[in-house]
Amino acid sequence: MTTESVSKGCFVFKPSTKKKKMTFTAADYFGEHVKDSKDSKVRFETYQTLWQQMKSEAEKIQEDLNRKVFDSLLEFIRKSHSNLLEKMDEWRHRMRATEIPAAALVLGVNVPDHAMTFQILSEQLRESITPYVVSLEAKECQGVKHILQKVFGQLLGHSIRLEADDETDVQPHPAELRQKKMLCSLASLADWYTSVKRKTVSVMPGKKRSSPTAGHLQTPPVVIIFKDLESFHAKVLQDFIVICSQYVNQLPFTLIFGIATSSMTIHKTLPHSVSSLLCIELFQSVSCTEHLAAVIDKLVLTHSFPFRLNGKMLQVLITVFLYHDFSVRNFIKGLQLCIVEHFYSQPLSILCCSLDEAENRTKNLTHEKCEMIRQLPSFMRYVENQEPEKQVELLTSDTFLKKEIKTLLRHLHNYHENYIPVLRCLHALTTSLPKFPLGKQIRELHSACLERNVWESEEYTSAFQLLRMMAKDELVAALQKCCDVLKTSRVKQQADTLTKVEEFIDQLQKLDKIVEDETVAQKSLQKKTDLYQLQKTLLEMKDSRKSKKLSKFETLRLEVLDFIDSIVRMHLKPPEVMPLYEVVYFSGASTLRKHLNAAPRIALHTALNNPYYYLENEALKSEAGTISNSAPDICIAYKLHLECGRLINLCDWLEAFATVVAAASGVDPESDLVAGQVDETIHARFIRAVSELEFLGFVKPTKQKTDHVARLTWGGC
């Protein structure tokens, strides 16, 4: 560095002491090891691309499932306040002048999914019918004035402060100046709506008459959505509906009630005097089980995405769904967690991509990655079954190994392409059997195939015993379903299977209906005969049945089932038998349970008993059974309360707490304790620690002794 000056002088340039702040991206935190930073970035980008594709597919599934109910709901709202009265006379005559159109939208008990459903519904309403859409939640509407406040705020586009009767002339805080202060009433809302409507249809000088927004009605209704009807206070809801009915001629209200349980909730919440003010129409959304089946069908049972779940992982996700919340949204989040964990913890997940991309990445595998592949259990089993010369090449030559990896990845890809259509065919054959031996849902059959050889199970044997008794029409219908499945497959091998199944269908259709003819035996039984003759006739019938030959249909049916059994044994093997299956399959069931199945008591006990586990402060390390004086106050109080019985003396507890805390500050606790006094600061810290333990549910006040608290837990975890 140089400087110029007229006069001579000495200039000092001090080096900058500020360190440049390091900026990190999400990919920098993705890898476990610093030396894998480049591969970590590739894995992170692969994960992002894969998840975006799966997320888009999941959103499309939800949109397709909701389309039918949303279309009928939008049509109901469009008819409720349409200006085309000549087309709606019959419907409008059902409504009195004070009746409010109301839609009861039954969404099911999967409450976590409702937010997304209402968000999509609100967007469609704003796009096609009206810009005036209000969404209300019970926790924000404790009274009628709060409902009006939310309605005004969402319609006018900014927050509203209610005018209080006892309000003083105190200047508001600067942060509150952005809030518009006005009297929230339906009369003022009606005036606002009239003025907005007048501006919309007014004719400006020199301009054409303005028209409503594309798709909006000429008189757009004010749609108010009650997201969680069961949670609203009944009296508040009743008062609001009664008030709205007095302004329905000035304000075209339409109410949408989000219901999680049953449509009878409306009649339980609203008395007849209030429900009679509503013209209610019921709408039923798709059940969460159907939604889950569609998600599994499009995201799991497909070869469009390279990522796979093993049997235990899929079972954990389905168990959480069935026994916790019935939330498809949480199921998808759990699936995302599996993908993140797989790409984060498995370095070889760099090959978990499309087949062409995986073959290109195989060329750039480092020696360390090649060694990781050699250590995979599935690859080690594959090497053991090879010739000695090939074993040496696979274990010593990276070039030869990379060529073999491409072949194995291609085999794994072909395995998935054949697995899915055969699985669907087997499900189509067995889903109509009594008691569903292989499961009613395809996900149950898929889980069984992932865990073991399905043909070795008792359920599979039972299913084929029932199939051997299937009638001709039923068998033809089931085979036709198999044809529909196989037609969607582009695998050449499945094309041969399709041709074979079509031949079986043609042969079955050409067979005449077989009717067992036992008229001779029946006539012999109808004749008058003695006991000896009857016994002789029955024995002859029994012997004839034993030596009876199979009919053409029975022979053909056995041939069909043998063919189905052969393709099942060929293509529905568990993925563990395929080399390199660890690259695309995630099997960390314990990790998933740890994240999804919360254990709050274990976490609380660990945090309070051993704070070093979470804080990772060296000063908090302590031996088992000892109390660190540098631990947080609540941890000290918690450890001391573990040494007490059912009732804890607060005075003794305080003295023990003061002794431990005073030791940390280097103060002799005996000086104050002898005098019967405790430092006020330590006393306050103790009170706060006990209050926190009471809030967490470890202790509670007791009436047995005023200076004691009762302990609510026993022992550790």
Residues in CB range of 110: below 8 A, 6 or more apart: 288, 325, 326, 327, 328, 329
More confident residue, 530 or 142: 142
> What is the four-CA torsion angle of 677, 682, 687, 692, rounded to 10 degrees?
-160
Residue among 243, 268, 264 at smallest CA distance from 255: 243
CB atoms within 10 A of CB 391: 14
User: Does residue 465 carry a pLDDT above 50?
Assistant: yes
Q: Helix 114-128 crosses helix 37-80 at what angle (to 10 degrees)?
A: 60
Q: Note the pLDDT of residue 548.
A: 61
Residue 635 · residue 619 · CB < 8 Å: no
H-helix or E-strand spanning residue 256: strand 253-259
State phi, psi for 166 to the nearest 5 degrees.
Answer: -100, 25
Residue 163 · residue 182 · CB < 8 Å: yes
State phi, psi for 240 to the nearest 5 degrees.
Answer: -65, -40
Q: Note the pLDDT of residue 547.
A: 57
Per-residue pLDDT tens for 349-374?
Answer: 999 999 999 999 999 999 999 999 99
Q: Note the pLDDT of residue 390.
A: 93
SS3 at position 255: strand
Rounded Cα distance between 241 and 239, Å, is 6
Ramachandran quadrant class, 439 (left: phi over 0; alpha: psi -120 to 50; beta: rest): left
User: Does residue 221 carry a pLDDT above 80?
Assistant: yes
User: Does residue 444 carry a pLDDT above 50?
Assistant: yes
Rounded Cα distance between 287 and 195, Å, is 43
Residue 105 · residue 258 · CB < 8 Å: yes
**With 0-12 CB in 10 A as exposed, 13-18 as middle and 19+ as buried, what is 28?**
middle
Residue among 205, 183, 202 at smallest CA distance from 194: 202
User: Does residue 135 carry a pLDDT above 80?
Assistant: yes
Position of tokens 């909006």? 216
Three-state SS letters, 596-626: HCCCHHHHHHHHHHCCHHHHCCHHHCCCCCC
Q: For 461-465, 542-546, 590-594, which range has the lowest pLDDT when averaged over its residues?
A: 542-546
Rounded Cα distance between 138 and 146, Å, is 10
Q: Across residues 597-623, what is the average pLDDT?
A: 84
Rounded Cα distance between 659 and 368, Å, is 56
User: Does residue 716 carry a pLDDT above 50?
Assistant: no
Q: Across residues 391-416, what is the average pLDDT?
A: 94
User: Does residue 399 carry a pLDDT above 90?
Assistant: yes
Ramachandran quadrant class, 180 (left: phi over 0; alpha: psi -120 to 50; beta: rest): beta
User: Does residue 333 carry a pLDDT above 90?
Assistant: yes
Three-state SS letters, 158-224: CCEEECCCCCCCCCCCHHHCCCEEECCCHHHHHHHHHHHHHHHHCCCCCCCCCCCCCCCCCCCCEEE
Amino acid at residue number 374: R
Here the contacts of 430-434 (C-beta below 8 Å, separation 24 or greater) are 430/463, 430/467, 432/474, 432/478, 433/463, 433/466, 433/467, 434/466
Residue 222 · residue 186 · CB < 8 Å: no
Rounded Cα distance between 456 and 441, Å, is 20
Query: Global pTM?
Result: 0.79
Per-residue pLDDT tens for 77-102?
Answer: 988 866 434 434 444 444 556 689 99
DSSP 8-state symbol, 322: I
Q: Across residues 243-259, what is the average pLDDT?
A: 91
DSSP letter string, 457-483: SHHHHHHHHHHTT--HHHHHHHHHHHH
Q: Note the pLDDT of residue 534.
A: 67
Per-residue pLDDT tens for 474-500?
Answer: 999 999 999 999 988 877 778 889 999
Under the banding of pLDDT at 50, 70 and 90, the label for residue 25 is: low
Position of tokens 């202060």? 181
Residue among 306, 309, 304 at smallest CA distance from 334: 309
State phi, psi for 476 to the nearest 5 degrees.
Answer: -65, -40
What does the block give as tokens for 410? 């291609």
Name the β-bridge partners of 282.
104
Under the banding of pLDDT at 50, 70 and 90, the label for residue 186 is: confident
Rounded Cα distance between 463 and 440, Å, is 12
Rounded Cα distance between 202 and 197, Å, is 8
Q: How far apart are the first and last CA of the chain?
A: 66
Across the chain, mean pLDDT equals: 82
Structural domains for the chain: 81-162+179-199+214-286 (3.40.50.300), 291-513+548-586 (no CATH), 600-711 (no CATH)
Q: Note the pLDDT of residue 492.
A: 77
